[in-house]
């Protein structure tokens, strides 16, 4: 058996896009979502990516009899949309789960930035997501990936406390320095938490550069790629290839040959013999960690900076973020399932991403994913929705007519009740 | 008394407030027994002609000038088609260029002679060319109708050349009407010099200059150096006939403080945001709305976010038609913090809707509105005080709303036009 490994993990997420929500709608109409756009986009991506790629993965897993393994993290927001608009996608993921060769990771249900804002909200969303994954795919997740691979020492500690011993993050250059991402590491302040670090160069060769004909390495073949992985892992145990699932068929179109590349990759890897495929939880069992990684300020897998500036980089974003998380306490008192549902969707990191004003180095990517013409429109629309949400929250709060002294007592039971409700589903 | 009037637009197809004012003026003049021939570059045919006769300049070929082309151009030689900006030319070259330019103009004129020119009537890229062509057609119309009017009246700089051409060719007196100046469009050190030159020329050639406020009158006298004796203020009015106030269901419970207009430097949007932040420190029971769009909008959004008030400070983007009325109907306080406003009709609209208004002392409207609250545009403390008081003391809000409603209903064009008629009489021999 090969001593080195490849860990393939795909991120599946679709945001719940907001409709054009005007000042005149505030207090009158509390439906916030653009159902038409969400349905249209989801069905398009399902046809171009999720369904054909799931089919291909299933074939490859069956063909290679246990030698090909992959991992997915599917956000709750994406699962909700699959269920509403395209349930056959869920069935195809269930078929993949049934092979036993696929690991499903835990994440925040709403693909949110809760890990940065509120520990209680973060715990709640992680638990809600894990329960949903177990309900759908029959396995309780054991490895965790945070929204956009956001990680810091503090987040690592929270994740470990939630019962996860494996976590995925970015092999950010400014953190790693001379160290290679091709080993298993641990958290600096929580040495029991094992970390898998994305090999961004090899991951981006597939995710960003694959179809670029101006790239001096174009076209990329499976054999060429295996050689690159061997070069990279000369000193190392594992190559972590983490990328958006929408890379296949959506960001890189089918006629770029991306599906053929993926079809050929397992054969090329197995024939070469240097690597075997592992899932994240297997990887951290197989290899001993080599060192701790100290991350004081959160890192992520986004943009050149690999930091949080794509979501919280300007004053518009921080204002929206502060306003939405300022409501957590009141929401706990009110404890209303409808409000919690909207609150969850309003936390999706994508809403903050749309307000990003970094138009230069990574502007292309931002524009591609953005339903708004300008970050200002995104901000205005979002704040109008938040204003309506605040009104609903305040009305419910007033209706409760709970005295200020009772607030503290109520807070804890509210959380517990909610946890139970989520699990029962 | 009969007037040949040059305008740029006329309801129902209007881009700004000028068209609405022109309609009010011709109706007011008709009430005072003054007949008008209203010339505009591009009429659509659906204009209300009950008070005036509309002449569409796009229908008139330039062909009735009896003299030769050279003579015509000599009389109205200020008309330039196209740009004549020549950087770094020495005097000799410049002289040659001028000769060439003259030949080119004669050629251009010969080409357009006998031709109709299709005006866009908009405020587009070839505005300067349209202004020049409008003057040529204006001159032609004046000659054709020589016996049908006693005085020429031109509105704003777009029409000044047409007015001058008409005066040069017919020898009849010219009144120009200043609704805004270059100094209301840009800051003092950033004005369009070509527009300034046209405005100055128009004011100098006119027998009388009518301004919409004393504020504008002062600008005309001090900035353009015009003899105070020939500058007369006739305050704007507003025609609310046939207008019913809208009833809209409110979505938000809190009182709403509204700014409505272009979000540009002259309108003082930043002072409104600062005042809003001050009010919000005192009470949360209020929402602020900045309705409209403009080159300062993005800056304003950042400004509100930086102050942390974005959940109480809303932007609507550009509002059209019925949404404007809806916005007024949803408002509890209206604010116009303009740094420079020749008149400013929007607080009149607000007060007519029963909304108490706070306006800057640097607006023409402040000269006529007794029941509006007046503050210096830079005095955000006073602005915040007034907003807070109007929100907190119902007696004050009720009183100013009621008195303001009566006040603006009394501001009729009929009165303003009686004054205008006197201006005509002073120049017609």
Would the pLDDT of B65 be above 70?
no
Share of chain A above pLDDT 70, in %: 92
Chain A residues within an 8 Å CB radius of B310:
316, 319-320, 323, 379, 383
Q: Are B328 and B298 in contact (CB under 8 A)?
A: no
Nearest to A323 among B289, B298, B310 (CB): B310
Task: For residues A258 and A390, state if they share a domain.
Answer: no
Chain A CB contacts of B306 below 8 Å: 315, 319
- Evaluate whether B127 touches B119 at the Cβ level (below 8 Å): no
For testing contact with chain A, the best of B310, B312, B318, B324 (most A CBs within 10 A): B310
pLDDT tens-digit readout, A315-345: 889 999 999 999 999 999 999 999 999 999 9
**What does the pLDDT read at residue B18?**
86
Of A323, A376, A388, the CB nearest to B301: A376
- Given a cut of 50, is residue A416 above it in pLDDT? no
Candidates B249, B305, B314; nearest CB to A319: B305
Task: Inform me whether the pLDDT recorded for A268 exceeds 90.
Answer: yes
pLDDT of residue B246: 79
Say if residue A218 is in the same domain as residue A286. yes
- Listed in sequence order, the DSSP H helices in A273-374 are 280-286, 309-312, 315-325, 328-334, 337-346, 349-353, 363-368
Q: What is the pLDDT of residues B54-64, one digit of tens each?
A: 999 888 887 65
Instruction: Tell me what pLDDT residue B39 has.
Output: 94
For chain A, the first-to-last Cα distance in angstroms comes to 42
Separation between Cα atoms, residue B69 and residue B136, nearest integer Å: 12
- What is the structure's pLDDT at B81? 42
Q: Which residue has the higher pLDDT, B18 or A300?
A: A300
Q: What angle do CA A134, A139, A140 make, to 5 degrees?
A: 70
Nearest chain A residue to B300 by CA: give it. A376
Contact A26 B250 (CB under 8 A): no
Residues ≥6 apart with Cβ < 8 Å to A352: A113, A311, A312, A317, A320, A321
Q: Do A27 and B250 touch (CB under 8 A)?
A: yes
Indicate if A148 belongs to the active site: yes
Mean pLDDT of A82-110: 98
Q: What is the pLDDT, as a whole number, of residue A64?
A: 95
Judged against a pLDDT cut of 60, whether residue B78 lies above it is answered with no
Rg (CA), chain B: 23
Distances (CA, A) of B116 to A159, B122, B170, B284: 78, 17, 21, 61
Give the CATH number of the domain where residue A56 resides.
3.20.110.20
Mean pLDDT computed over A215-244: 95
Q: How far is B308 from chain A (nearest CA, A)?
A: 6
For residue A392, list chain B residues with Cβ-Cβ distance below 8 A.
none
Residues A119 and A203 in one domain: yes
pLDDT at B120: 76
Global pTM? 0.79
Using an 8 Å CB-CB cutoff, list chain B residues near A390.
311
Site of tokens 């400014």: A174
Residue B84 has pLDDT above 90, yes or no: no
Please give the mean pLDDT across all residues of chain B.
87
Nearest C-alpha in A relative to B288: A23
Give the whole-angstrom CA distance, residue B26 versus residue A407: 67
Are A241 and A329 in a shared domain? no
In angstroms, rounded to a whole number, what is the distance separating the alpha carbons of residues B349 and B404? 10
CB-CB under 8 Å, A319 with B314: no
Query: Where do the H-state alpha helices sit in B8-150?
Result: 18-31, 69-75, 91-112, 127-144
Torsion of CA B71, B72, B77, B81, to 10 degrees: -130
Q: Hey, what CATH topology would domain B2-239+415-427 get?
A: Rossmann fold (3.40.50)
pLDDT band at B106 (very low <50, low <70, confident <90, very high): low
pLDDT at B227: 96
Cβ density class A47-73: b for 16+ within 10 Å, e for less: ebbbbbbbebbbebbeebeebbbbbbb
- pLDDT tens for B261-282 read 989 999 999 999 999 999 999 8
Q: Using pLDDT thresholds of 50, 70 and 90, give the confidence band for residue A139.
A: very high
Give me the pLDDT at residue B85, please.
38
For residues A140 and A170, membership in a common domain is answered with: yes
Residue A394 resides in a domain: yes
Say if residue A260 is in the same domain as residue A350.
Answer: no
* Structural Rg of chain A based on CA atoms: 22
Q: State residue A323's pLDDT score.
A: 94
In a domain, A301, yes or no: no
Residues A330 and A383 in one domain: yes
DSSP A27-67: TT----B-HHHHHHHHHHHIIIIIHHHHHHHHHHHHHTTTS
Query: Between chains, do B316 and A24 touch, taking CB under 8 Å as contact?
Result: yes
- All structural domains of chain B with their residue ranges: 2-239+415-427, 256-410
Q: What is the distance in angstroms between the CA of the first residue and the CA of the last residue of chain B?
A: 12
Give the tokens for residue A110.
């709403």
| ipTM of the complex model | 0.70
How many C-beta atoms surround the C-beta of residue A398 within 10 A? 10
Q: Which pLDDT value is given to residue B86? A: 40
Average pLDDT, chain A: 91
Give the Cα separation of A419 and A159 in Å (integer): 17
Last residue of a domain, one of A293, A328, A356: A293
For residue range B326-380, what is the model confidence (pLDDT) as tens digits?
Answer: 999 999 999 999 999 999 999 999 999 999 999 999 999 999 999 999 999 999 9
Q: In chain B, which residues have their Cβ closer than 8 Å to the Cβ of A379? A: 301, 305, 310
Return the closest-CA partner of residue B275 out of B360, B366, B353.
Answer: B360
Final residue in a domain of this structure, among A265, A293, A321: A293
Residue B94: the pLDDT is 57
Is residue A300 in some structural domain? no
Length of chain B, in residues: 429
A425 — pLDDT class (breaks 50, 70, 90) = very low
pLDDT at A297 over 60: yes
Q: Which pLDDT band holds residue B131 (cuts at 50, 70, 90)?
A: confident
Q: From A293, A328, A346, give the residue that closes a domain.
A: A293
The string of pLDDT tens digits covering residues A191-229 is: 999 999 999 999 999 999 999 999 999 999 999 999 999
Contact indicator for B138, B162 with CB cutoff of 8 Å: yes
How far is Cα B404 from Cα B397, in angstroms, rounded to an integer?
Answer: 10
Interface test with A, best of B252, B295, B311 (most A CBs within 10 A): B311
pLDDT tens-digit series, residues A29-42: 999 999 999 999 99
Q: Does residue A298 lie in a domain region?
A: no
Shared-domain flag, residues A199 and A320: no
Residue A273 lies in a domain: yes
At B260 the pLDDT is: 95
- Indicate whether B74 pLDDT > 90: no
Ranges of beta strands (E only) in B238-322 are 256-260, 287-291, 313-317
For residue A18, the 8-state DSSP code is B
Band of the pLDDT at A402, cuts 50, 70, 90? low
Asked whether residue A139 falls in the same domain as residue A253, the answer is yes
- The domain tally of chain A equals 2
**Residue A377 forms part of a structural domain:** yes
Rounded to a whole number, what is the distance in Å from the CA of B316 to chain A's nearest CA? Answer: 6
Asked whether the predicted pLDDT for residue A6 surpasses 90, the reply is yes
For residue A420, the model assigns a pLDDT of 40
In a shared domain, residues A68 and A126 = yes
CA A213-A217-A221 angle, to 5 degrees, is 95
Per DSSP, A218 falls in state: P
Smallest CA–CA separation between B72 and chain A, in Å?
51
Which residue range is the domain that position A14 belongs to? 4-293
Tell if the CB–CB gap between A23 and B249 is shorter than 8 Å. Answer: no
When pLDDT is cut at 50, 70 and 90, the band that residue A415 belongs to is: very low
Is residue A316, in this structure, part of any structural domain at all? Answer: yes
> How, if at all, do strands B313-317 and B333-336 pair?
unpaired
Cβ distance A26 to B310 less than 8 Å, yes or no, reads no
- Compute the distance between CA of residue B237 and CA of residue B415 in angstroms, rounded to an integer: 9
Residues A289, A365 within the same domain: no
Rounded to whole angstroms, how far apart are CA atoms A258 and A207? 10
pLDDT for the residue B259? 97
Cα separation of A164 and A157, whole Å? 10
| A267 plus A336 within the same structural domain | no
Q: Find the mean pLDDT for residues B312-339.
A: 93
The catalytically annotated residue of A103, A121, A148, A348 is A148
Please report whether residue A304 resides in a domain.
no
Identify the closest residue of chain B to A29 by CA–CA distance.
B251
Architecture of domain B256-410: 3-Layer(aba) Sandwich (3.40)
The tokens 């494996």 sit on which residue?
A166
DSSP-H helix ranges across A273-314: 280-286, 309-312
């Amino acid at each position: 058996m090969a001593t080195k490994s490849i860990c393939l993990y795909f991120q599946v997420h679709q945001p719940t896009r907001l409709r054009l929500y005007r000042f005149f709608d505030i207090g009158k109409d509390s439906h916030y979502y653009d159902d038409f756009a969400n349905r249209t986009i989801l069905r398009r991506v399902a046809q171009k990516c999720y369904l054909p790629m799931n089919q291909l993965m299933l074939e490859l897993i069956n063909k290679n009899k246990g030698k090909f393994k992959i991992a997915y993290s599917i956000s709750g927001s994406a699962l909700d949309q699959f269920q509403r608009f395209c349930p056959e996608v869920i069935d195809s993921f269930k078929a993949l789960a049934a092979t036993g060769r696929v690991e499903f990771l835990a994440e925040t249900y709403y693909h949110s930035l809760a890990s940065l804002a509120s520990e209680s909200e973060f715990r709640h969303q992680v638990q809600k997501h894990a329960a949903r994954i177990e309900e759908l795919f029959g396995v309780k997740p054991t490895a965790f990936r945070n929204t956009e691979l956001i990680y810091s020492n503090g987040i690592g500690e929270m994740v470990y406390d939630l019962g996860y011993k494996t976590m995925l993050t970015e092999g950010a250059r400014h953190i790693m320095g001379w160290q290679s991402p091709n080993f298993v590491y641990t958290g600096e302040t929580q040495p029991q938490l094992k970390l898998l670090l994305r090999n961004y160069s090899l991951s981006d060769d597939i995710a960003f550069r694959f179809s670029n004909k101006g790239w001096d390495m174009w076209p990329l073949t499976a054999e060429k790629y295996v050689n690159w992985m061997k070069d990279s892992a000369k000193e190392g145990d594992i190559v972590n290839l983490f990328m958006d699932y929408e890379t296949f068929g959506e960001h890189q179109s089918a006629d770029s040959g991306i599906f053929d590349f993926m079809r050929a990759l397992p054969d090329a890897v197995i024939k070469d013999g240097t690597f075997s495929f592992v899932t994240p939880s297997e990887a951290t069992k197989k290899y001993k960690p080599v060192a701790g990684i100290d991350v004081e300020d959160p890192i992520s897998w986004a943009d050149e900076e690999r930091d949080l500036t794509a979501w919280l980089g300007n004053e518009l974003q921080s204002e929206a973020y502060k306003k939405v998380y300022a409501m957590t306490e009141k929401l706990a008192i009110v404890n209303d399932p409808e409000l919690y549902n909207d609150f969850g969707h309003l936390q999706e990191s994508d809403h903050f991403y749309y307000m990003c004003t970094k138009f230069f180095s990574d502007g292309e990517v931002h524009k591609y994913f953005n339903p708004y013409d300008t970050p200002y429109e995104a901000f205005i629309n979002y704040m109008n929705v938040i204003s309506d949400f605040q009104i609903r929250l305040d009305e419910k709060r007033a209706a409760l007519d709970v005295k200020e002294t009772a607030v503290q007592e109520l807070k804890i039971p509210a959380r517990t009740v909610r946890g139970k409700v989520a699990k029962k589903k | 008394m009969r007037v040949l009037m040059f305008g740029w637009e006329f309801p129902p197809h209007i881009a700004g407030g000028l068209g609405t004012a022109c309609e009010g003026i011709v109706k007011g003049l008709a009430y005072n027994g003054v007949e008008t021939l209203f010339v505009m570059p591009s009429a659509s045919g659906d204009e209300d002609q009950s008070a005036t006769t509309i002449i569409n300049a796009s229908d008139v070929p330039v062909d009735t000038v009896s003299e030769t082309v050279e003579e015509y151009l000599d009389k109205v030689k200020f008309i330039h088609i196209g740009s004549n900006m020549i950087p770094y030319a020495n005097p000799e070259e410049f002289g040659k260029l001028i000769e060439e330019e003259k030949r080119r103009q004669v050629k251009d004129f010969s080409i357009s002679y006998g031709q109709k020119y299709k005006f866009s009537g908009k405020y587009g890229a070839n505005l300067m060319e349209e202004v020049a062509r409008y003057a040529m057609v204006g001159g032609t119309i004046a000659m054709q109708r020589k016996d049908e009017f006693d005085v020429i009246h031109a509105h704003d700089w777009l029409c000044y050349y047409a007015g001058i051409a008409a005066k040069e060719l017919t020898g009849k007196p010219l009144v120009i009407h200043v609704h805004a100046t270059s100094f209301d469009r840009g800051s003092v050190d950033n004005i369009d010099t070509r527009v300034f030159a046209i405005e100055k020329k128009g004011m100098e050639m006119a027998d009388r200059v009518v301004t919409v406020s004393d504020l504008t009158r002062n600008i005309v006298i001090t900035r353009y150096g015009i003899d105070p004796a020939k500058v007369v203020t006739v305050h704007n009015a507003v025609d609310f006939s046939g207008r019913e106030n809208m009833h809209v269901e409110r979505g938000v419970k809190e009182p709403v403080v509204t700014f409505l207009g272009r979000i540009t430097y002259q309108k003082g949007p930043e002072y409104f945001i600062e005042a809003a932040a001050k009010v919000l420190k005192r009470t949360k029971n209020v929402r602020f709305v900045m309705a409209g769009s403009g080159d300062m909008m993005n800056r304003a959004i950042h400004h509100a976010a930086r102050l942390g008030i974005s959940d109480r400070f809303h932007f609507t983007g550009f509002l059209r038609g019925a949404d404007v009325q809806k916005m007024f109907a949803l408002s509890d306080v209206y604010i116009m913090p303009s740094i420079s406003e020749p008149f400013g009709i929007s607080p009149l609209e607000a007060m007519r809707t029963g909304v108490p208004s706070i306006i800057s002392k640097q607006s023409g409207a402040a000269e006529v509105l007794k029941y509006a609250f007046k503050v210096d545009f830079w005095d955000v403390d006073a602005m915040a005080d007034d907003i807070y008081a109007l929100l907190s003391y119902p007696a004050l809000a009720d009183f100013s709303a009621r008195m303001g409603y009566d006040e603006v209903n009394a501001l009729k064009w009929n009165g303003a036009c009686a004054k205008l008629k006197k201006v005509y009489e002073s120049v017609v021999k």
